[in-house]
Structure formats: structure tokens, C-alpha cells
């Protein structure tokens, strides 16, 4: 069904479901005080560090850092996409997921999907019945592809000629086919077939729907492989050829192999390796990595051993580093010169190819080996240079066990203790910052901004106690603007719980700060929450007044203060209490 899931429905859903019940159905939980505990399902551990809070409707692992709402848990544990996780949760409480109105008055996404299905049927029919099908069939047989594998991947044939697709589907389909990039529009109107005399590979999304096509030429065409262009349904930087087929063939994927071509994927499946995928003529992207790790905990990048293959592997490593949290693995396999995964698996067979995958180089070893080739490890200067080259790469890796082990391994290479190297490579966590202003002292205690946010996350209903946030954005403390945005959002959505609030920040980079605040212990007892919050609001109002006074006094000193400003300055000076003391940050 076309359209987005309304945010109001997600709010309602998260008030209906209980995160404890959702997680307990997959990971048995034990009561521990006000919370529940278990060994983390996202990394290996013997002592439980995975906690679930029924009051916050939030889970957090103190070992690997995994955290989130009931939706996040299903996405990570079941490796679902966001809409599918929402669908599963809704089904569990008997709700039907509504959708907002779909786009495109000139053709909905549903209509385009229907058209793609017709195109896919047409290509498959040509492979069976077209008078020139023999060349396509012979090509596939020569590559070792049999009928069942061709059927599993839905392979087809785009015959020679300029108007086969257009003539078959008719003039009424022309506009949609042009929008999908399957017809190329003519200046004088109409269009001609983009794919001609090619083996056709339907590209499916993770739900099995055709979103585009790839074509391998059977003629002497310089463009050996060609993809559908970007369309309302197809974004090649977010799709992986063969992922749907891999998930259908292996119920619980433990490993995915990333190769470069369609035929590599098909050939590997033909020879007993049904868990290969391919990027679609692009370098591996961050979106690809997110999709890959939702599907399997281990990714093996399999590239040619030539210069181009190694460049592609290094780009993949760079993209993979931010994804390497504990429990995930990345490896690199380079096939011998003159071979590709297709030819190699046909020559060696499944068993030997699987042995190559098992022996593939871990990301940490590949990173150090590649950088080591650029320096002289026999000299002190060379080892120092290696550490400097590695520093920006290590900085991309999330905090956790893997990052620490990577630093220790790097320490071995540069002859420096891992603990010392870790301190040299440490960098402060970036925080949401306010514009540069005169620093404010807050008595050495926690930042009132941090306190207010933490209390709001604990009890969103506290937002009703704030009558105005005027001037709060100007408070010179990290996160002041974030606090104002959170309060504005809660004002627009009264009744939303903690999980619903977090889901509204899923796509916002500052959402990570809200998660971090929730991971901390609550120092304020339930009986004192309202009083603590009211006192914090008063403090923020005082700080806002001080910030405004700074501006007005500066203007007065420069002789630019108008009459209204003078009256405001006089009023604020009369209201002014003691000058604030101390200072802190959002994350103290």
C-alpha cells in the first residue's frame, strides 16, 4: 500500500504495546528491581547487562550499547525494516496500520509497481518463447545456470529491437514506462526500449517486489551491464541485488557475501552459496551497510584482487567502520588474479569457495595490513605514521569492545601499549551546541538543560507544566535548542509516552543525545520529580533572562539600544536575582 505510516498511529501503537512482553517473547527476561534483565541478544556475554525498563519503554545494553524502543528491538532482532516492524507490532495488538495519502497525481506508486510486474512477466516470457531466445539460453547454460536457478532469480530476456516492450504493453503504459526509465523518451513524443538484446535480472526490494532491472548485453555493446535509472521506486544506493533471494533461501542468515556483479550472485547460488548480494554499479554505501547488518551479523566483501578491486574494498572498509559495533563482523576476500567469484566457484566448487570465505581477512587485519604498506614499520617514524594514518579511521568506529580490540591490535603493530594508544586516539563526543556566547556558571552541578531533558524523557507529561520557553534558545548551555524543540513537540502531541517521543527523533541526528540520557540512572525519586522539574524550569528562566541582559547591556555599551530596549533592560535589571554561578554541559 502506498503512503507513509502516520506518526500519530506510531504514538498510539507504542502506548498499546508493552516492551517487556515484546522482548520477553524473544529473549526470556528476569525481574531485577524496577527493571528486567537478560543476557544481551546482540552480543555474546555471560553476565546479563541487557536491561528493559517498563516505565521508560526502553531497552539498553551496558555491554554493547544496543538500545531503543519496541520498534527498534524488532528491527534489530528480527532484522526487519521499519514499516515491517510496525506492521508486526500492530498485528500483535490487533491494530491495522493506516497509510497517509500516496504521492503522484500522475500515477501512484501502486500503479508503477503493477507496471513493473507486467514488464517482468514480459521479459521472462521472451526467455521462453522469443524466436531469438536461443542466444540467451546458450549464454546462461555456458555460465552454468540451470532452469531452477533462472526461475528463482526470475531471469528474462530483452530481445533486439526498439519497441518490443512498448508494443506489448501499449501506448497507455508509455508514460509510466518512461517514468520508470524502461523507455527512453523521444523528442517527438513516445519512447523506445532502453534494454535491447540483453539477459534481464529483476532487482527486488527486501519485500520481494520488483523495483528495477539490470541487463547483461549479448551483443558487442561497450556497456556490458546496465541498470534501470533512478525512479520513484528504484534508488540504487539503497538496494542490493539478490538480498530477497538470499533471505528466501536461508531462513536465518549468519553471513552475506558482497560481490560486484549479477552473474556472480547467480553463479554462487547455483553452486551452493545462496547468500551473495551485489551492489548495483555503485560503491558500497552507508545505507547498504545498514541493510546488510540488519540481515546478517557477518559481511564478507569479495572483490577482484586487481587495483580496481582493492580500491573498491578500501572504500567498503571506510563505509563499514561506523557500523562495526560489537556483535558485527566484516571480512575481506580477494579472488586470484584473472578470476571473479563466478569463475572461481565454477572451477573450485562450493567446498573450496566456502573455505576461502571462512579464511577471509578480518576488517582489523585488512586495515592494518593496507596501511602498513604505506610506511616503513622498521622505523620509529614509520610506526608513528601508521598510527596517524589509522587515527581518523579508528575515530569512525563506535565505542565498544571491537574498537578497543582494534586499538590494541594497532598498538601491537606500532609497538605501543594499547592503553596508551587509546588515550592518544580518544576524542570528545560531539554535543549539540548553542551559538558561542558568554559562558554561564551553574554551581558545578548537572546542567539544567540535561536535567530537564532527562526528566521529560522519564515523564513526558511534565511538559504541561511549562508555560513558556521564551528566550531558552539563547541560554549558553549545550542542548538548549534541543530542549526547546522537545518541549514544542510534546506540546503538539499531548499523551505521547517516552517510546513515542523517541520514535519521533529516529531520523534526527540529535536523537542520539536523548537515548544517551535515558541510559543513565535516575537520581531523583518518583516523589520528587515534579519539584525537581519545576525548580529546573525556574533556573532556565533565570538563565534566559541573564542571556538577554548580556545582549541588551552590550547594545547599551555600543550606544545602539533603542527606547524599547532601554525599558526592557530596566525591567530585567529590577527582576534580576543573584548572578548565576558554575557551569556544565548537557552530558555531565
pTM above 0.85, yes or no: no
pLDDT of residue 138: 94
In a domain, 159, yes or no: yes
pLDDT band per the 50, 70, 90 thresholds, residue 194: very high
Crossing angle between the packed helical segments 401-414 and 380-394, to the nearest 10 degrees:
170
Q: 3-state DSSP call for residue 199?
A: strand
DSSP assignment of 156-172 equals EEE-SSSSHHHHHH-GG
| Main-chain dihedrals φ then ψ at residue 11, nearest 5 degrees | -60, -50
Domain that holds residue 390: 369-425
Q: What is the pLDDT of residue 577?
A: 54
Within its chain, how far is the Cα of 142 from the centroid?
A: 39
Q: Which of 205, 234, 263 is the last residue of a domain?
A: 234
- Could you tell me how far CA 554 lies from the centroid of its own chain? 45
Q: Is residue 414 part of a domain?
A: yes
**454 and 565 in one domain?**
yes
Lowest mean pLDDT among 49-63, 200-214, 515-529: 515-529
| Mean pLDDT, residues 439-467 taken together | 80
Query: Do 230 and 294 belong together in one domain?
Result: no
Residue 187 pLDDT level (bands cut at 50, 70, 90) = confident
Spatial contact of 478 and 431, defined as CB atoms under 8 Å apart: yes
Q: Which of 238, 329, 322 is nearest to 277 (CA)?
A: 238
Q: Look at the chain and report how many structural domains it folds into.
A: 5
- Report which listed range, 80-89, 207-216, 431-440, is most confident: 207-216
What sign results for the dihedral spanned by CA atoms 143, 146, 147, 149? negative
377-406 exposure pattern, b = at least 16 Cβ within 10 A, e = fewer: eeeeeebebbbeebeeebeebeebebbeeb
User: Are 224 and 293 within one domain?
Assistant: no
Does 115 share its domain with 172?
yes
CA atoms within 13 A on the CB side of 588: 17
Q: pLDDT grade, residue 427 (50/70/90)?
A: low
Which has more pLDDT, 345 or 108? 345
Pairing of strands 276-278, 255-259: parallel
- Is it the case that residue 432 has pLDDT exceeding 60? no
Q: Which CATH number do you get for residue 555?
A: 1.10.860.10
Q: 3-class secondary structure for 205-263?
A: CCCCCEEEEEEEECCCCCCCEEECCCCCCCCHHHCCECHHHHHHHCCCCCEEEEECCHH
Residues 462/464/470/474 CA torsion (nearest 10 deg)? 20
Residues with Cβ < 8 Å from 415, sequence gap 6 or more?
Answer: 383
Cα separation, 248 vs 284, in Å, equals: 23
What per-residue confidence (pLDDT) applies to 3? 55
Q: 359, 389, 414: which is the final residue of a domain? A: 359
Q: Which residue has the higher pLDDT, 440 or 190?
A: 190
**In this structure, is residue 587 part of a structural domain?**
no
Is residue 374 in a domain? yes
Quick one: 412 and 454 in the same domain? no
Closest CA to 124 of 142, 150, 160, 161: 150
* Residues 91-118: tens digit of each pLDDT: 888 888 887 754 443 347 788 999 999 9
**pLDDT attached to residue 351:** 94
What pLDDT is attached to residue 566? 82
Amino acid at each position: 500500500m502506498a503512503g507513509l505510516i502516520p506518526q500519530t498511529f506510531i504514538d498510539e501503537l507504542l502506548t498499546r504495546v508493552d516492551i517487556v512482553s515484546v522482548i520477553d517473547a524473544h529473549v526470556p527476561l528476569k525481574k531485577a528491581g524496577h527493571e528486567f534483565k537478560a543476557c544481551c541478544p546482540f552480543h555474546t556475554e555471560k553476565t546479563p547487562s541487557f536491561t528493559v525498563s517498563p516505565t521508560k519503554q526502553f531497552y539498553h545494553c551496558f555491554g554493547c550499547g544496543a538500545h531503543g524502543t519496541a520498534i527498534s528491538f524488532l528491527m534489530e532482532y528480527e532484522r526487519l525494516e521499519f514499516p515491517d516492524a510496525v506492521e508486526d507490532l500492530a498485528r500483535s495488538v490487533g491494530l491495522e496500520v493506516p497509510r497517509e495519502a500516496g504521492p503522484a497525481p500522475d500515477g501512484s506508486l501502486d500503479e508503477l509497481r503493477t507496471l513493473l510486474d507486467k514488464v517482468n512477466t514480459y521479459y521472462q516470457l521472451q526467455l521462453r518463447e522469443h524466436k531469438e531466445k536461443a542466444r540467451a539460453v546458450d549464454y546462461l547454460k555456458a555460465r552454468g545456470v540451470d532452469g531452477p536457478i533462472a526461475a528463482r532469480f526470475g531471469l528474462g530476456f530483452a530481445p533486439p529491437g526498439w519497441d518490443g516492450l512498448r508494443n506489448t504493453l501499449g501506448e497507455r503504459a508509455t508514460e509510466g514506462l518512461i517514468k520508470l526509465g524502461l523507455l527512453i523518451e523521444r523528442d517527438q513524443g513516445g519512447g523506445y526500449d532502453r534494454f535491447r538484446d540483453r539477459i534481464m535480472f529483476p532487482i527486488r526490494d527486501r519485500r520481494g517486489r520488483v523495483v528495477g532491472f539490470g541487463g547483461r548485453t549479448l551483443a558487442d555493446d561497450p556497456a556490458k551491464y546496465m541498470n534501470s535509472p533512478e525512479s520513484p521506486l528504484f534508488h540504487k544506493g539503497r538496494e542490493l541485488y539478490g538480498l530477497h533471494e538470499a533471505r528466501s533461501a536461508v531462513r536465518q542468515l549468519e553471513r552475506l557475501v558482497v560481490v560486484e556483479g549479477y552473474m556472480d550472485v547467480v553463479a554462487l547460488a547455483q553452486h551452493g552459496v545462496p547468500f551473495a548480494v551485489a551492489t548495483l554499479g555503485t560503491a558500497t554505501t552507508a545505507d547498504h551497510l545498514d541493510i546488510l547488518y540488519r540481515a546478517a551479523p557477518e559481511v564478507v566483501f569479495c572483490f577482484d584482487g586487481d587495483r580496481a578491486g582493492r580500491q573498491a574494498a578500501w572504500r567498503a572498509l571506510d563505509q563499514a567502520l561506523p557500523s562495526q559495533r560489537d556483535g558485527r563482523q566484516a571480512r575481506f576476500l580477494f579472488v586470484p588474479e584473472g578470476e571473479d567469484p563466478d569463475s572461481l566457484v565454477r572451477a573450485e566448487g562450493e567446498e573450496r569457495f566456502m573455505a576461502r570465505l571462512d579464511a577471509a581477512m578480518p576488517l582489523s587485519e585488512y586495515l592494518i595490513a593496507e596501511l602498513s604498506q604505506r610506511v616503513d614499520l622498521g622505523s620509529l617514524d614509520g610506526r608513528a605514521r601508521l598510527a596517524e594514518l589509522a587515527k581518523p579511521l579508528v575515530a569512525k568506529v563506535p565505542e565498544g569492545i571491537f574498537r578497543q580490540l582494534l586499538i590494541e591490535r594497532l598498538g601491537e603493530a606500532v609497538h605501543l601499549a594499547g592503553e596508551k594508544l587509546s588515550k592518544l586516539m580518544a576524542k570528545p563526543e560531539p554535543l549539540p551546541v548553542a551559538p558561542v556566547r558568554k559562558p554561564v556558571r551553574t554551581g558545578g552541578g548537572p546542567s539544567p538543560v540535561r536535567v530537564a531533558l532527562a526528566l521529560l524523557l522519564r515523564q513526558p507529561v511534565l511538559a504541561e507544566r511549562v508555560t513558556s520557553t521564551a528566550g531558552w534558545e539563547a541560554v549558553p548551555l549545550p542542548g538548549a535548542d534541543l530542549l526547546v524543540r522537545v518541549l514544542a513537540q510534546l506540546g503538539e502531541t499531548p499523551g505521547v509516552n517516552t517510546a513515542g517521543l523517541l520514535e519521533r527523533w529516529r531520523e534526527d541526528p540529535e536523537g542520539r543525545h536523548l537515548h544517551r540520557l535515558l541510559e543513565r540512572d535516575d537520581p531523583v525519586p518518583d516523589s520528587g520529580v515534579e519539584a525537581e522539574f519545576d525548580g529546573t524550569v525556574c533556573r532556565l528562566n533565570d538563565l534566559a533572562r541573564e542571556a538577554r541582559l548580556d545582549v541588551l547591556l552590550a547594545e547599551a555599551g555600543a550606544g545602539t539600544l533603542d527606547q524599547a530596549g532601554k525599558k526592557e533592560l530596566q525591567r530585567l535589571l529590577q527582576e534580576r536575582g543573584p548572578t548565576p554561578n558554575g557551569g556544565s554541559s548537557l552530558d555531565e
